[in-house]
């Protein structure tokens, strides 16, 4: 009579599972970082385009330089209006 315990197929140990999980997280972080980098590049190009003369950001910058207090007041009123909607 044999007292050997039947062996089940080898299952990954805790260390292997932790390494696999860390690898998956690393790949996910890499993908997210790549997506963020692409989004930042698109946003940067859109802002650069809007800062060209005659475009909206150039106009806002010029108005702000000429009347900073009035611009601050308008921004405050806009913030109050947005806050009340929520």
Looking at the fold, whether 59 and 83 belong to one and the same domain comes out as: yes
Residue 21 is predicted with a pLDDT of: 87
Structural domain that includes position 32? 15-50
Q: Are 51 and 57 in contact (CB under 8 A)?
A: yes
* 33 within domain boundaries: yes
* 5 within domain boundaries: no
pLDDT tens profile 52-61? 999 988 998 8
* 9 within domain boundaries: no
**Range 71-86 burial, b when 16+ CB lie within 10 A, else e:** eeeeeeeeeeeeeeee
* 10 within domain boundaries: no
**In total, how many domains does the chain have?**
2
pLDDT tens profile 11-50? 668 888 888 888 888 889 999 999 999 999 999 999 999 9
* 60 within domain boundaries: yes
CA distance 55 to 61: 10
Looking at the fold, whether 43 and 65 belong to one and the same domain comes out as: no
């Amino acid at each position: 009579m044999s007292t050997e315990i039947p062996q089940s197929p080898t299952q990954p140990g805790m260390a292997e599972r932790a390494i696999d999980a860390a690898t998956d997280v690393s790949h996910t972080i890499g993908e997210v970082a790549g997506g963020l980098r692409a989004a930042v590049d698109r946003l940067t190009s859109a802002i650069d385009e809007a800062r060209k003369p005659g475009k909206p950001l150039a106009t806002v910058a010029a108005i702000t330089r000429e009347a900073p207090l009035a611009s601050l007041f308008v921004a405050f009123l806009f913030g109050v209006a947005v806050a009340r909607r929520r």
